[in-house]
Amino acid sequence: GVMAFFSMFVAAAPVDEELIIDGEFNMITRTASPEGHPLSEVTSGWLYRTDETRDQQADSFENPGMLAVEEGEVFWNTVDGSAGKSCASCHDDAATSMKGVGAKYPVWDVASSKPINIEQRINLCRIDNMGAQAWEFDEQGQKPLAAYIKNQSLGLPVSMKLDEGDMQKWWEKGKETYYSRMGQLDFSCANCHEQYNGSYIRADHLSQGNANGFPTFRQKQGTLVSLHSRFQGCIRDTRAEIPEAFSDDMMALEVYVTWRGTGLSVETPAVRQ
């Protein structure tokens, strides 16, 4: 009734709590923003979620996203392609070889003269080093393996290198997109995630829209969700045409959005609503 309806606004600001995963990983969920950032503090989406959702992420046995990470480990060890190799053949134990890797992505790829993300880097190794086929967007092992790799950076701060190749230009293109008003509803990413983070759209507590937890377990969809899928979802909600995953515009957006979360701990697999 009326009381339940009003009590929802009691905790309007993001919570003031610490995230320690498995009593071991002290997570950075709030930090001073990088230079040039419009906000003074960068905050993780974790802080905007309900008590139950936040608790799930603090315990790996409760985190529904960890099933995908386990799936990813299986892919890591599975031979595929004409070269008869698995990821493990060249990269051995991911806990060692992949530690810190996920926290730096997306990175500049000299060969293609573009930024690449973890999903594309996986495909590159499949094609170049395994004689296997690239995985389509969100298909087969792409999400679980991306989650597995990023999970090896759990707790480490997001930190991309913008001074490699033309990264800076891509960052600028991503920034342009971030601030463009889109669709019939005429919303920009900045409208919701910069101007109104902390406010509610219906029951959704708007966060800063950071990428540090991706791929993320999304309760609404009951599955692991990739970053480009999330971008597509938000853009769909502006009633604009949905751009293709991994297109140049979407890659530029990933570069810029990832940068906006600089300093936050990698949380993959984050648990979100």
Partner 1 sequence: MIITTTLALADVTLPDEVVVENLRIEKSLSGSPGDAAQGRKTFADRSLGNCLACHLNSDLSDELFHGNVGPSLDGVATRWKPEQLRTIVVNAKKVFTERTIMPGFYSLDVGEDVREDLIGKTILTAQQVEDVVAYLNTLE
What positions carry a catalytic annotation? 234
Nearer to partner 1 by Cβ, of 205 and 218: the residue is 205
Question: CB under 8 Å to 223, separation ≥6 — which residues?
Answer: 217
Q: Any contact of residue 240 with ligand HEC (CB under 6 A)?
A: no
Q: Which of these ranges, 5-13, 26-34, 106-114, 213-221, lies near partner 1 under the rule CB under 8 A?
A: 5-13
Answer for which of 200, 244, 247, 248 binds partner 1 (CB under 8 A) is 200
Q: Any contact of residue 250 with ligand HEC (CB under 6 A)?
A: no
DSSP 184-211: TTTB-HHIIIIISBTBEETTEE------
Answer for which of 69, 98, 122, 182 binds partner 1 (CB under 8 A) is 182
Answer for which of 77, 89, 133, 199 binds partner 1 (CB under 8 A) is 199
Residues that bind partner 1 (rule: CB under 8 A) add up to a total of 30
Q: Any contact of residue 69 with ligand HEC (CB under 6 A)?
A: no
> For the stretch 86-118, what's the b/e string if a residue is b when 16 or more beta carbons lie within 10 angstroms of its beta carbon?
bbeeebeebeeebeebbbbbbbbbeeeebbbbb
Q: What is the DSSP letter of 47?
A: G
Q: How far is the CB of 76 from partner 1 (least distance, A)?
A: 38
Let me know the angle formed at the C-alpha of 130 by 125 and 132, rounded to the nearest 5 degrees.
95
* DSSP reduced 3-state for 115: strand
Let me know the angle formed at the C-alpha of 191 by 255 and 48, rounded to the nearest 5 degrees.
80
* Residues binding ligand HEC (CB under 6 A): 45, 48, 85, 87, 89-91, 101, 107, 121-122, 125-126, 129-130, 145, 149, 187, 189, 191-193, 201, 204, 206-207, 209-211, 213, 216, 230-231, 234-235, 237-238, 253, 257, 270, 272
